[in-house]
């Protein structure tokens, strides 16, 4: 069988056409034989082609040729100080080694000590095709730092520096074509091509008298400079030893970590820039285990949330910047974006995008209008997609360890984003050791924290199951008798004020509609509540291997997969948790069975002290404004 421009032909074993089907002309066809034996032929037409201009292609004018777009066609030329070669490429006119030659690459990597790196500046209005599609290697640096980054990189053959954003774009491995920018484009950048020139200098033609004079003066000058350096260092050490805060106050305003060149770092800010953006940290919108969060505004009128990290034992600046480069490169529609940072002296600040509807707990548990059912399902789906990406979608697998409504942020237009992911990586090993027993927030901790079992992505799945139950019920999973008789309203079962146990008993008895938020007033069907409750209970299985992955959770929430039936035998621990919640909590570590009961109370959320220091990545917002990462 074969398809061609005339249609579909079915051939016999002798090569004769036994069936011919005439098909309309098409550039692209897909043939499918389905499970029933039916044969399908689909055709598709082109709906989008990019780029539209030939000057945006990699090699319209060979290597380093300048492409100028015209009305109907484009023209090619060489930049100033470059000449055409027979191959069609452009090469430096001064005879230096062309940037794409093998000699350049080997010498840049230290292969030829007789050659020195130099740069040829390109003319104004010229840019590189790849800069339209690539992220900058660094941002917030001056042009000399950009040049140093290229010089120290064997694969770098040139760079472009954009003045407006202080962004540095590297040209790596192979040089494509350049293009002439349109007159209407307001942004400007300047380009440099790396070349190699002879590093040897001509012999000194001065007489022996000049050499003799230098031999006399050099030791004297060196001794004077050494004395000056020693005295200056002593004065600085004395001042710093008498003023512990001098480290921070004397840090140069341009030192936001600009001396550390790590590809992929987000925008660097100085401490003074963030002071100005937040009006000297006056508009506090939240606080948590790492420090306070402030609302701010950048010079381009962008509203941001600035987290001022105040933990002791932070990593050094280079290690901090390395982790920031990892977190800053994580891009997903359901994850709060890290826009920048400051690592100045002992100060550590993170700049996030601003979410104007605050965190889920305010919309879910607040006094305002109740969230409709479909909006609750959409919020759960967005949060699940964000966690699934952290677990399996990004280069560095990240376990959140503190999934809760306070770390699910909302924005206009139905945007849902997970915040505070990866922040525990910013602590030094000594500081991280404080949380090896428990990390997270009481009420959302998985059983493996209590048993010292291995922590995995299924630990986040358990916490997400607890959040799902709160989304269904519209209240915290743990409710005390002091909350205006809510304990009696939770249900007639033995769960009392511990809603996960109430949900388990409701599942066993088939009473799903009674579990939904009473404020919905019948605006939700029982089968919809049953689907989410069953999924939540599957996430709460005591054995991590029985819990679904977050990718499977997304499929179930979106209706692409059948919801699993919860294994009740793996949920019996909730009955123990429910009793631990209702009983007076025992002190953790008291010995014997009291340790188990106290730990159960902490995991159920009934012990206010057992996990006080465990909220390592979240924050609790006050009523003054929006909560943010």
What lies within 8 Å, CB to CB, of 455 at 6+ separation is 399, 401, 448, 449
Q: Does the pLDDT of residue 332 top 70, yes or no?
A: yes
Q: Give the model's confidence band at 114: pLDDT under 50 very low, under 70 low, under 90 confident, else very high.
A: low
Are 326 and 467 part of one and the same domain?
no
Give the domain extent around 92.
Answer: 54-197
Residue that is last in its domain, among 197, 214, 237: 197
Choice between 584 and 146, residue whose per-residue pLDDT is larger = 146
Residues 5 and 468: their CA atoms lie apart, in Å, by: 55
Q: How long, in residues, is the chain?
A: 629
pLDDT of 336: 95
Q: Domain for residue 214, yes or no?
A: no
pLDDT grade for 291, boundaries at 50, 70 and 90 = confident
pLDDT the model gives residue 253: 44
465, 533: one domain: yes
133 and 272, same domain (yes or no): no
Give the chain's count of helices (H) and strands (E): 17, 25
| Better pLDDT: 506 or 453 | 506
Residue 72 belongs to some domain of the structure: yes
Secondary structure (3-state) at 163: coil
CA–CA separation, 200 and 312 (whole Å) = 51
- Separation of alpha carbons 88 and 59, rounded Å: 11
Which residues sit opposite 3 in a β-bridge?
Answer: 8
| pLDDT the model gives residue 263 | 62
Residue 252 lies in a domain: no
Find the range with the poorest average confidence among 82-91, 194-203, 425-434, 531-540: 425-434
Q: Which CATH number covers residue 334?
A: 3.30.200.20
Q: How confident is the model at residue 438 (pLDDT cuts 50, 70, 90)?
A: low
Residue 261 has pLDDT above 70, yes or no: no
Burial 431-462 (b: 16+ CB within 10 A, else e): bbeebeebbbbbbbbbbbbbeeeebbbbbbbb
Mean pLDDT, rounded, for 3-9: 78
Tell how far CA 357 is from the center of its chain: 21
- Here the tokens at position 128 are 């590189």
Please give the Cα distance from 67 to 51 (Å, whole number): 14
Contact between 598 and 610 under an 8 Å Cβ cutoff? The reply is: yes
Whether the Cβ atoms of residue 304 and residue 353 lie closer than 8 Å to each other: yes
For residue 312, the model assigns a pLDDT of 45
**Closest among 496, 492, 493, 440 to 467, alpha carbons compared:** 440
d(CA 538, CA 543): 10
Mean of pLDDT values over 272-286: 94
Residue 609: which pLDDT band, with cuts at 50, 70 and 90? very low
Mean pLDDT across 564-588: 77
Q: Is pLDDT of 100 > 80?
A: no
Same domain, 78 and 188: yes
* Residue 282: pLDDT over 70: yes
476 is in an annotated binding site: no
- At 199, is the pLDDT very low, low, confident or very high (cuts 50, 70, 90)? low
State whether 76 and 117 are in the same domain.
Answer: yes
pLDDT above 80 for 583: no
Tokens of 610: 């057992």
402 catalytic per annotation? yes
With vertex at residue 457, the alpha carbon angle to CA 453 and CA 459, rounded to the nearest 5 degrees, is 50
Summarised one tens digit per residue, pLDDT across range 249-260 is 444 444 445 555
Secondary structure class of 205 (helix, strand, coil):
coil
3-state secondary structure of 55: helix
Choose between 23 and 211: higher pLDDT.
23
Which tokens belong to 412? 């206009």
Q: Name the pLDDT band for 288 (thresholds 50, 70, 90).
A: low
Q: Is 463 helix (H, G, I), strand (E, B) or coil?
A: helix
Choose the final residue of a domain: 353, 377, 398: 353
* Ordered alpha helix ranges (H), 260-411: 271-277, 317-328, 360-365, 373-392
381 and 476 assigned to the same domain: yes
Instruction: Assess if residue 248 is contained within a domain.
Output: no
> Contact 310/292 with Cβ under 8 angstroms?
yes
Is residue 240 assigned to a domain?
Answer: no
**pLDDT at position 589:** 38
What average pLDDT does this structure show over 344-363? 91
Same domain, 21 and 76: no
And the tokens for 27?
């550039």
For residue 603, give the nearest of 488, 439, 433 by alpha carbon.
439
pLDDT the model gives residue 431: 42
Cβ proximity of 418 and 332 under 8 Å: no
Please state the rounded mean pLDDT for residues 194-213. 58
Give the confidence band of 512 by pLDDT, cuts at 50, 70, 90: very high
Beta bridge partners of 115: 198
How many CA atoms does the CB half-sphere of 301 hold within 13 Å?
0
Q: Same domain for 32 and 145?
A: no
**Mean pLDDT score, 507-530:** 95
For residues 615 and 501, membership in a common domain is answered with yes
Number of structural domains found in the chain: 4
- Which of 136, 165, 197 terminates a domain? The answer is 197
Asked whether residue 237 is domain-assigned, the answer is no
Looking at the whole model, is its pTM more than 0.95?
no
Assign 475 to helix, strand or coil.
Answer: coil
Q: What is the mean pLDDT of residues 424-428?
A: 50
Q: What mean pLDDT comes out for the span 316-320?
A: 71
Is residue 586 predicted with pLDDT exceeding 50? no
Q: What is the mean pLDDT of the chain?
A: 79
- Measure the CA–CA gap between 45 and 157, rounded to whole angstroms: 40
Task: Give the model's pLDDT for residue 33.
Answer: 84
Q: In terms of pLDDT, which residue wins out, 595 or 88?
A: 88
In terms of domains, do 528 and 495 share one? Answer: yes
What is the rounded average pLDDT of the residues 545-549?
Answer: 97
Q: Does residue 183 register a pLDDT over 80?
A: no
* DSSP SS3 for 335: strand
Specify whether the CB–CB gap between 606 and 597 falls below 8 A.
no
Q: Could you tell me if 296 and 368 lie in one domain?
A: no
pLDDT in the model for residue 594: 41
Longest dimension (CA), the chain: 106
Residues 274 and 328 reside in one and the same domain: yes
Q: What percent of the chain has pLDDT over 70?
A: 75
The contacts of residue 191 (CB under 8 Å, 6+ apart) are 121, 122, 126, 127, 128, 158, 159, 160, 161, 178
CA 350, CA 419: separation in Å to the nearest integer? 12
Least confident among 227-231, 287-291, 450-454, 589-593 = 589-593
Q: CA distances (Å), 117 to each of 164, 195, 208, in order?
A: 27, 6, 32
Q: How far is it, in rounded angstroms, from Cα 316 to Cα 525?
A: 54
Residue 260 included in any domain: no
Percent of all residues in the chain with a pLDDT value above 90, rounded to a whole number: 38
Under a CB-based contact definition with an 8 Å cutoff, are residues 147 and 141 in contact?
no
pLDDT of residue 284 exceeding 80, the answer is yes
**Annotated catalytic residue within 34, 361, 395, 402:** 402
CA distance 107 to 12: 63
Whichever domain contains 465, its CATH number is 1.10.510.10
For residue 503, pLDDT over 90 is answered with yes
What's residue 242's pLDDT?
58
Range with the poorest average pLDDT among 33-37, 105-109, 474-478, 538-542: 105-109
Residue 171 half-sphere exposure, CB side, CA atoms within 13 Å? 28
Residue 221 belongs to some domain of the structure? no
């Amino acid at each position: 069988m074969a398809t061609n421009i005339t249609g579909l032909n079915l051939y016999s074993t002798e090569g004769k056409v036994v069936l011919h089907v005439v098909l309309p002309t098409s550039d692209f066809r897909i043939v499918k034989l389905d499970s029933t034996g039916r044969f399908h032929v689909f055709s598709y037409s082109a709906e989008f082609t990019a780029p539209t201009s030939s000057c945006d292609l990699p090699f319209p004018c060979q290597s380093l040729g300048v492409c100028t777009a015209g009305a109907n066609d484009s023209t090619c030329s060489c930049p100033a100080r470059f000449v055409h070669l027979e191959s069609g490429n452009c090469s430096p006119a001064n005879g230096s080694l062309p940037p794409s030659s093998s000699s350049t690459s080997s010498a840049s990597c230290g292969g030829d000590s007789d050659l020195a790196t130099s740069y040829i500046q390109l003319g104004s209005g010229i840019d590189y095709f790849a800069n339209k599609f690539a992220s900058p290697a660094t941002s917030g640096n001056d042009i000399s730092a950009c040049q140093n980054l290229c010089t120290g990189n064997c694969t770098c053959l040139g760079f472009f520096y954009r003045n407006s954003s202080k962004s540095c774009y590297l040209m790596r491995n192979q040089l494509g074509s350049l293009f002439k920018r349109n007159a209407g484009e307001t942004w400007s950048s300047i380009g440099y091509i790396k070349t190699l020139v002879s590093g040897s200098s001509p012999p000194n033609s001065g007489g022996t008298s000049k050499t003799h004079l230098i031999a006399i003066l050099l030791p004297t000058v060196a001794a004077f400079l050494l004395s000056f350096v020693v005295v200056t260092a002593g004065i600085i050490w004395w001042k710093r030893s008498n003023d512990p805060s001098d480290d921070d106050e004397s840090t140069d305003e341009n030192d936001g970590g600009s001396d550390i060149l790590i590809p992929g770092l987000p925008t660097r800010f100085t401490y003074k820039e963030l002071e100005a953006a937040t009006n000297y940290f006056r508009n506090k919108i939240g606080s948590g285990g790492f420090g306070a969060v402030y609302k701010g505004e950048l010079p381009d009128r962008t509203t941001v949330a600035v987290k001022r990290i105040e933990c002791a034992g932070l990593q050094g600046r280079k290690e901090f910047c390395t982790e920031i480069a990892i977190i800053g490169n994580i891009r997903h529609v359901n994850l709060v974006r890290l826009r920048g940072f400051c690592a100045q002296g002992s100060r550590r600040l993170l700049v996030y995008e601003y979410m104007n509807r605050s965190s889920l707990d305010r919309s879910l548990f607040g006094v305002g209008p109740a969230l409709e059912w479909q909006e609750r399902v959409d919020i759960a789906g967005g949060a699940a997609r964000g966690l699934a990406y952290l677990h399996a979608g990004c280069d560095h697998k990240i376990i959140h360890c503190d999934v809760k409504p306070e770390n699910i942020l909302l924005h206009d237009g139905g945007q849902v984003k997970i915040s505070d992911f990866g922040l525990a990586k910013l602590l030094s090993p000594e500081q991280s050791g404080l949380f090896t027993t428990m990390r997270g927030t009481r009420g959302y901790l998985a059983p493996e924290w209590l048993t010292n079992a291995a922590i995995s992505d299924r630990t986040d799945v358990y916490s997400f199951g607890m959040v799902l139950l709160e989304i269904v019920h519209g209240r915290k999973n743990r409710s005390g008798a002091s909350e205006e008789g809510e304990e009696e309203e939770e249900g007639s079962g033995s769960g009392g004020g511990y809603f996960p146990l109430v949900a388990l008993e409701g599942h066993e008895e088939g009473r799903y509609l009674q579990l939904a938020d009473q404020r919905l007033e019948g605006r939700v069907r029982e089968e919809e509540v049953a689907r989410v409750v069953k999924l939540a209970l599957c996430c709460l299985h005591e054995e991590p291997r029985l819990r679904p992955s977050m990718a499977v959770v997304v499929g179930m929430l979106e209706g692409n997969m059948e919801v699993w039936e919860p294994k009740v035998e793996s949920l019996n621990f909730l009955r123990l948790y429910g009793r631990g919640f209702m009983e007076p909590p025992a002190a953790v570590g008291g010995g014997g069975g009291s340790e188990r009961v106290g730990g159960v109370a902490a995991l159920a959320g009934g012990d206010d002290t057992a996990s006080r220091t465990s909220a390592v990545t979240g924050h609790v917002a006050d009523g003054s404004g929006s909560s943010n990462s």
